């Protein structure tokens, strides 16, 4: 009986050690045969169906098979061995199907990222999708776009520029591609009041794999409307120069501001799009963007997104606030109840000069195409402030948002690092490979009278809208 127990233990051991070890350890007591050999009682299970023994097994165990009890014990052990192997194989298969296969399938079918972003290691896949870390290459949205084209938002990157801006446009494009669009491939729409030359078209289209569209701005969108006398506008510009109004003397600047205020969203090339991201020449994008902000806007019913809130120069807009107030009074039905007016109103009821800095915007084109926005723009346009003063599209967009949107429709993209000239926004958290210093960003200077005060006002405003969670019992 003792011998039989040894041989059962021996056969069981075979599942855990190599065959040469099995032979060498033939005479060891069962209790010392290692972890896998501890269950000598397994031999007491009833034998299963007959198993055809492999010739190699027979050869190796001839001496056991020679005696009937030894043979039974060996067969029993062999059957058990096979059963356990089978069992572990099944569990392994199950585990593979449940966990590993989907991951491998995802990685293998990740065909959407045609360039450098397509090289996605399994390690980084796990880092992002399993451990939830932010990593440089995050293919989930791009994949969704390819596998589910309906998820791809009808959106474009919009650039208004002149041919001589080409070098600077290429700088912005390169940064945009590197940080975001190489993964998402949203089309670019370039608009120019003069039309683009071949060099501009060739160089910009070579800088992206995305579609590039080039449009001529219609003359009636970039010229004096019938009710503005160009001579009077020229006189006003001279006064503005004397008065130190920033860019007040540049005729084209006035047209540009009016165009962004009232017309860009009507360009036929933008008709097929719902969202736009405005990009200017030589701007910086400091951080990787590993999600699709257009999709984010669409899924959260957002109408307007910004990264920098700034203070307008009062000399540029002496009569704008009065005009807006008049409009709001005359069209009170258009002003939404829970509006953003508190964010732009100072304690004395005047305009606090806060506005979203519109050289960066991610917006819903249909907001600008809406009846209320068009009425608002027409009303302002009739007052002549785009020419007799230097009303900018930034305060115009912002004041429209203040009248027609509520706080939940406006989004601060604090995770998008951005710089235009000397003003920058840098996310305050260290992730997404941001190449900037949050300490020097506008938002950080909250206490300052100009820099940062509108961000502080925005934060306070949004916080005032959050439901208060009072301690229990109050
Ligand atoms: N086609 C065209 N685009 C213009 C013209 N003037 C300005 N733009 C574009 O309009 C946008 C805003 O013009 P900017 O001159 O950058 O105005 P800004 O950002 O207020 O001024 P800066 O602080 O100097 O950048 C940019 O995308 C320019 O390329 C123009 O006369 N024609
Ligand atoms: Mg600019």
DSSP class per residue in 191-233:
EESS---HHHHHHHHHT-SS-EEEEEPPGGGSS--TTS-HHHH
The domain boundary, picked from 78, 105, 132, lies at 105
- Do 23 and 168 belong together in one domain? no
Tell me if residue 361 is catalytic.
Answer: yes
Residues with CB under 5 A from ligand 2 (ion): 280
Is residue 302 over pLDDT 60?
yes
Indicate whether residue 162 lines ligand 1 (CB < 6 A): yes
In a domain, 130, yes or no: no
What's the gap in Å between 161 CA and the centre of ligand 1? 7
Q: Which of these ranges, 67-71, 145-149, 304-308, 417-421, has the smallest mean pLDDT?
A: 145-149
Is residue 468 over pLDDT 60?
no
In whole angstroms, how far apart are CA 457 and each of 36, 146, 401, 417, 450? Answer: 69, 41, 16, 20, 12
Indicate whether residue 416 lines ligand 1 (CB < 6 A): no
Q: What pLDDT was estimated at residue 123?
A: 35
Token pair 């920033």: residue: 246
In this prediction, residue 169 has a pLDDT band, given cuts at 50, 70 and 90, of very high
pLDDT by residue (tens digit) across 412-426? 999 999 999 989 999
Strand-pair category, 309-311 with 354-356: antiparallel
Indicate whether residue 281 lines ligand 1 (CB < 6 A): yes
Please tell me the total count of domains within the chain. Answer: 2
HEC sequence for 302-320: CCEEECCEEECCHHHCCCH
pLDDT by residue (tens digit) across 18-28? 333 322 333 33
- Do 160 and 96 belong together in one domain? no
Residue 334's contacts (CB-CB under 8 Å, 6 or more residues apart) are: 372, 375, 376, 403, 404
Q: What pLDDT was estimated at residue 465?
A: 87
Structure tokens at 241: 């120069």
Q: What pLDDT was estimated at residue 339?
A: 96
Indicate whether residue 395 lines ligand 1 (CB < 6 A): no
Q: What pLDDT was estimated at residue 48?
A: 40
Strand-pair category, 304-306 with 309-311: unpaired
The span from the CA of 360 to the CA of 342, in Å, is: 23
- Do 241 and 348 belong together in one domain? yes
- Higher-pLDDT residue of 425, 122: 425
Is residue 97 over pLDDT 90?
no
* Ligand 1, atom nearest to 165 Cα: 29
- Do 23 and 90 belong together in one domain? yes
In whole angstroms, how far apart are CA 271 and each of 213, 303, 449? Answer: 12, 17, 41
In a domain, 132, yes or no: no
The domain boundary, picked from 74, 105, 136, lies at 105
- Do 407 and 303 belong together in one domain? yes
Is residue 5 over pLDDT 90?
no
- Do 68 and 174 belong together in one domain? no
The span from the CA of 19 to the CA of 7, in Å, is: 14
pLDDT by residue (tens digit) across 368-387? 999 999 999 999 999 999 99
The span from the CA of 427 to the CA of 442, in Å, is: 11
- Do 88 and 233 belong together in one domain? no
For a pLDDT cut of 90, what percent of the chain falls above it? Answer: 61
- Do 98 and 236 belong together in one domain? no
Whichever domain contains 370, its CATH number is 3.90.550.10
- Do 99 and 163 belong together in one domain? no
Residue 81: give the domain boundaries: 2-105
Is residue 92 over pLDDT 90?
no
In this prediction, residue 112 has a pLDDT band, given cuts at 50, 70 and 90, of very low
List the Cα angle 279/282/284 in 5-degree steps: 75
Strand-pair category, 418-420 with 354-356: unpaired
Is residue 185 over pLDDT 70?
yes
In a domain, 196, yes or no: yes
Q: Which of these ranges, 363-367, 379-383, 452-456, has the smallest mean pLDDT?
A: 452-456
Which one from 312, 361, 389, 409 is the annotated catalytic residue? 361
Is residue 447 over pLDDT 50?
yes
Average pLDDT estimate for 176-181: 97
The span from the CA of 379 to the CA of 326, in Å, is: 10
In a domain, 237, yes or no: yes
What's the gap in Å between 358 CA and the centre of ligand 2? 9
Indicate whether residue 160 lines ligand 1 (CB < 6 A): yes
In this prediction, residue 55 has a pLDDT band, given cuts at 50, 70 and 90, of low
Per the prediction, the chain carries an average pLDDT of 79
The span from the CA of 49 to the CA of 65, in Å, is: 17
DSSP class per residue in 422-450:
TEEE--SS--TT--S-GGGSGGG-TTSSS
Question: Which residue of 222, 258, 284, 359 sits with most ligand 1 atoms within 8 Å of its CB, as the best mutation to test the pocket?
Answer: 359
- Do 182 and 97 belong together in one domain? no
The domain boundary, picked from 105, 137, 160, lies at 105
Is residue 146 over pLDDT 90?
no
Average pLDDT estimate for 400-404: 98
In a domain, 119, yes or no: no
- Do 276 and 424 belong together in one domain? yes
- Higher-pLDDT residue of 426, 76: 426
The span from the CA of 133 to the CA of 127, in Å, is: 5
In a domain, 388, yes or no: yes
What's the gap in Å between 253 CA and the centre of ligand 1? 7
In a domain, 144, yes or no: no
pLDDT by residue (tens digit) across 214-273? 999 999 999 999 999 999 999 999 999 999 999 999 999 999 999 999 999 999 999 999
- C-alpha 106: how far from chain center: 20
Strand-pair category, 188-192 with 212-216: parallel
In a domain, 126, yes or no: no
- Do 159 and 43 belong together in one domain? no
């Amino acid at each position: 009986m003792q011998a039989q127990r040894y041989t059962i233990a021996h056969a069981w051991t075979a599942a855990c050690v190599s065959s040469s070890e099995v032979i060498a350890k033939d005479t060891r007591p069962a209790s010392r045969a290692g972890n896998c050999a501890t269950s000598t009682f397994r031999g007491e299970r009833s034998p299963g169906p007959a198993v055809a023994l492999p010739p190699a097994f027979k050869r190796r165990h001839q001496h056991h098979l020679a005696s009937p009890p030894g043979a039974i014990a060996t067969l029993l052990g062999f059957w058990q061995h096979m059963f356990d192997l089978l069992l572990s194989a099944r569990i392994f298969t199950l585990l593979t199907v449940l966990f590993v296969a989907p991951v491998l399938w995802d990685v293998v079918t990740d065909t959407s990222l045609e360039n450098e972003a397509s090289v996605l290691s399994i390690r980084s896949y796990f880092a992002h999708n399993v451990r939830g870390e932010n990593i440089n290459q995050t293919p989930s949205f791009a994949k969704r776009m390819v596998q589910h084209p309906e998820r791809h938002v009808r959106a474009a990157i919009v650039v208004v520029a002149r041919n001589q801006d080409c070098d600077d446009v290429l700088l912005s494009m390169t940064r945009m591609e590197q940080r975001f669009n190489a993964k998402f491939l949203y089309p670019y729409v370039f608009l120019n009041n003069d039309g683009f030359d071949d060099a501009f078209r060739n160089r910009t289209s070579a800088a992206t794999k995305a579609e590039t569209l080039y449009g001529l701005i219609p003359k009636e969108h970039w010229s004096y409307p019938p009710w503005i006398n160009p001579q009077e506008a020229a006189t006003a510009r001279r006064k503005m120069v004397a008065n130190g109004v920033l860019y007040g003397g540049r005729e084209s600047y006035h047209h540009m501001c009016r165009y962004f205020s009232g017309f860009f969203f009507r360009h036929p090339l933008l008709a097929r799009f719902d969202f736009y991201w405005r990009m200017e020449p030589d701007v910086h994008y400091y951080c990787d963007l590993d999600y699709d902000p257009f999709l984010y806007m669409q899924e959260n019913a957002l109408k307007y997104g910004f990264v920098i809130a700034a203070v307008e120069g009062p000399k540029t807009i002496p009569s704008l606030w009065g005009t807006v107030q008049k409009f709001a009074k005359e069209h009170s039905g258009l002003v939404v109840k829970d509006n953003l007016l508190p964010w732009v109103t100072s304690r004395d009821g005047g305009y606090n000069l806060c506005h979203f800095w519109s050289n960066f915007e991610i917006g819903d084109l249909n907001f600008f195409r809406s009846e209320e926005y068009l009425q608002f723009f027409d009303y302002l346009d009739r007052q002549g402030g785009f020419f007799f003063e230097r009303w900018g599209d930034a305060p115009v967009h912002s004041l429209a948002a203040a009248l027609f949107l509520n706080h939940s429709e406006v989004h601060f993209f604090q995770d998008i690092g951005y710089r235009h000239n000397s003003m920058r926004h840098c996310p305050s958290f260290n992730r997404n490979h941001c190449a900037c210093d949050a300490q020097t960003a506008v938002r950080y200077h909250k206490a300052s009278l100009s820099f940062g005060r509108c961000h502080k006002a925005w934060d306070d405003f949004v916080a005032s809208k959050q439901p208060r969670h009072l301690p229990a019992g109050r």
